[in-house]
Structure 1
């Protein structure tokens, strides 16, 4: 037995005590956040004007409300049901990561694709498109961008997911259509890339979004169990005891929980806060993300809201052209609610796209067997894994 449960059991009491203390602290954080949010809603325009000069002094990411936070005394806005006849497109990706211990240094991306038409007799379409990357420019081209191979793989996967989603929209459909991806539409990791090369990474993604915008097919990112706290971070500015919030000047070496603004609020996520304010089927006000990379998005700057889908409060992200078009916005949110209901807690289209994309251990083994056969046919005599990998596979433990 590799895991000693007898020794582990001795530590469980401490875990239970810690969770109990965290539960009490969470209730206190929620009460404080609700109070600050209500204060913000009562004088939203005035507060946002006063914070305009201080936002740039914060060292944490802050979102801006794009609507009134509270409407006619209510935090939640009801979401109309989507039309019974509609179409949902979804993609999701999986991969085989490159490893120097394998028989060849390469990687594979597999994109699951799903087309679900409702209210028609048309059958569901489910398939996957694999692509192998093995050329020198595939593996070492991103070095000048400051990306390692795994970060580059993530970039390629995101681009493939969005590109194939746009390709699905090329097929004409008379039905109102929504395009879904799993995860955020804010590619914040690109901020670490030199500015000169950021458009090179982003443009293929934005071109796909533009194609869907021209066809009035809204794209949205569905984020389950979101850990984002951009809205709560705005409340931290309200909680700052200094006349002018300036993190570098007043709190340069303090961790978030130790700062005056973070005490009593951190760690608290937006989703945890909105869980206490929304009823099932309601959405929050729209918010505008202020991540630096979004300055390159143009008309595709990302907005988001929190949607109570029943089992949880999910974060839904979409480009500005969706947020500012009432019909497209309601279509996206109504679709998300409908998909979660059909998927018993998670959008069924995204779940099926994941199932199509996932690369299981047996698939991975078959992939390398096929690769080995091709290497032998090519006349390569030494085709084997590293001694470390061989030893792990042949462990006697």
Structure 2
């Protein structure tokens, strides 16, 4: 067991039986709390014929109906309540309010009491400690200011709780490279947070910069985006340091991260969150080890906890203990349902395509999109991608090579369309990896 990976060694190495016992006690308390303090939950559970008297422990979890972002949006549309009826405390007790990115629709609004703030800061400290941040480190976090509305801004307070110095600046996707490599030059960063790290690599190459001359004591870079093996390889080669990944969901302040033994899976704190993997259609639990929709139950928040909340992310869960000593579940992400297409009987995620696309020098770090028919499934996978034209001698042959490589790896018929830079937009927070059009 490596105690050096753990911010809270006792909790992070609890035996499975104790984790589940703790979850059961907290579930009973949380159901009672939301039922008596939230109009949404009171109506939601009453409609399902459920009351707190029916929940006695973890085994009763599946008695509760699941909920989704669309359910919250519908309630908000009907009541004009920005919290969708889920706020369980008087608004005057909120010390911070955020909203989700709105990747798949109208953003959801949620907040934190002071107790919630303290709890979630500790959760994010646990996540960051696992990837390697320690007291005395110097790091950055542009999320705190540029995304002050998003729950993942808690990475900055989490790092400060550990004892790190945090530079909180305000770039977006298009200027983060300049911020990290010019504005922070001389700050001697030891851990560098990036959001779309390909921008930094292009910046380094264009200026023939050695990262070690900018940040000579840099130990690792880290991010919070799904990471393919190809992306990780390119990043580590360019920076000359390890790359670590984190993840989660902003609207419930989920905090998870890799350890050296779990890559690409990430540890989720089960003392704070119950994790289920459900069939996206039936909402029934899948068999152990199978892929399904990540569904979470918040056990810690008093302001806006979501229970059996379907996140639209497809994951695989491993409940076995990790070689690092952690006993909490590890999640391997496939991608967001909205960022996938179904070709025949195969579901293809944007990262599946990226993993192949970025292996080719001419499409390394290319901007790309999957074209998704409004009616699924569709007969072919259609990929649009930018390219480095100066690295291609014969475009027709190159397109054929790309199509063959993607089709062979993903086992679906594939059409590749080359487009010019600017034809695929770059957002300030997330790239739009899927374009819905008639195919």
Give the TM-score of the pair, scaled to structure 2: 0.24
Which structure is higher in helix share? 1
Task: State the structure with more CA Rg.
Answer: 1
Give the TM-score of the pair, scaled to structure 1: 0.26
Q: Which has the higher contact order (CA 8 A, sep 6+)?
A: 1
